[in-house]
């Protein structure tokens, strides 16, 4: 089996590429796709669901829910809608980015908010056959985007809930620096919590716009093959998404980026 059979395009890699064209390219190449809520809403949920179903393209995740460090009724309600959308798209997983430190709070109170939100959402997700995937983001985003920063922290947050309701995202870009990362991956696998596996590379120097400086696979310092081996060693054999937030990549034609990304994926993983 070629590693390319596990390739899934996270649509954010080709952020400005029409969703329909992206799905068609995935169908043609036997790839999966990770979708984002905004383009799905733009096309319409039912029409997107029909598009991927007719094309036979598996939706490997929906991005993203979360932003519930202040778990207001609106935040919970929006995440319930995101769970419904995930189910309607036939995707197994909703990716959760936890959100920032709320006004007047601290990172500790924000983390309590995340735990509270998960408790409110996990049963709803389980009923609909959706796994919530807590994504630890790189600590440089800890104040304004995601207070969850390590795999072990994500696993601790997931622990009170069944593994089919709450798992974690293993995204190389966000966790590669962590001295506990190999233990974290082994633990995530042993606990059955690897709900999504995503790749992006860390390039040096860090681009000025840190949000959109994720490197193409092979352009940075992350040993992708070692991550593949570590994740697979836990028994995981699911799809592998490539998710690159990168201004230069976004400026190029979607199909060109798609083909180049598949090539890079094959090259770094074999």
Contact residues toward a second copy (CB under 8 A) are 100-101, 106-107, 111, 138-140, 142-144, 147, 149-150, 152-153, 156, 176-179, 202, 204-206, 208-210, 220-221, 223
**Minimum Å distance from CB 68 to a second copy?**
17
The dihedral through the CA atoms of 71, 13, 217, 190 has a sign that is: positive
For a second copy, which is the closer residue by CB, 68 or 141?
A: 141
For a second copy, which is the closer residue by CB, 147 or 199?
A: 147
Name the token pair of 39: 């383009």
Name the token pair of 209: 């716009």
For a second copy, which is the closer residue by CB, 30 or 209?
A: 209
**Minimum Å distance from CB 220 to a second copy?**
8
**Minimum Å distance from CB 141 to a second copy?**
8
**Minimum Å distance from CB 91 to a second copy?**
28
For a second copy, which is the closer residue by CB, 103 or 237?
A: 103
For a second copy, which is the closer residue by CB, 202 or 236?
A: 202
**Minimum Å distance from CB 36 to a second copy?**
22
**Minimum Å distance from CB 117 to a second copy?**
17
Is 240:6 a contact under the CB 8 Å cutoff?
yes
For a second copy, which is the closer residue by CB, 176 or 258?
A: 176
């Amino acid at each position: 089996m070629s590693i390319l059979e596990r390739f899934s395009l996270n649509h954010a890699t080709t952020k400005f590429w029409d969703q329909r064209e992206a799905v068609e390219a995935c169908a043609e190449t036997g790839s999966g796709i990770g979708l984002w809520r905004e383009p799905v809403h733009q096309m319409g949920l039912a029409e997107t669901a029909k598009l991927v179903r007719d094309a036979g393209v598996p939706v490997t995740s929906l991005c993203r829910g979360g932003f519930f460090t202040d778990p207001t009724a609106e935040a919970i309600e929006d995440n319930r809608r995101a769970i419904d959308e995930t189910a309607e798209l036939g995707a197994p997983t909703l990716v959760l980015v936890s959100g920032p430190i709320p006004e007047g709070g601290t990172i500790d109170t924000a983390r309590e908010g995340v735990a509270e939100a998960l408790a409110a959402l996990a049963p709803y997700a389980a009923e609909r056959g959706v796994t919530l995937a807590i994504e630890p983001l790189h600590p440089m985003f800890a104040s304004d985007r995601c207070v969850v920063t390590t795999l072990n922290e994500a696993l601790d947050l997931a622990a009170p809930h069944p593994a089919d309701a709450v798992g974690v995202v293993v995204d190389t870009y966000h966790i590669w620096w962590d001295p506990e990362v190999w233990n974290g991956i082994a633990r995530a696998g042993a606990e059955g919590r690897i709900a999504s596996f995503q790749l992006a590379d860390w390039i040096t120097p860090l681009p000025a716009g840190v949000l959109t400086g994720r490197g193409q696979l092979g352009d940075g310092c992350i040993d992708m093959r070692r991550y593949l081996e570590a994740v697979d060693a836990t028994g995981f054999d699911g799809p592998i998404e490539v998710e690159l937030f990168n201004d230069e990549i976004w400026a190029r034609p979607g199909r060109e980026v798609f083909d180049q990304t598949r090539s890079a994926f094959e090259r770094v993983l074999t």
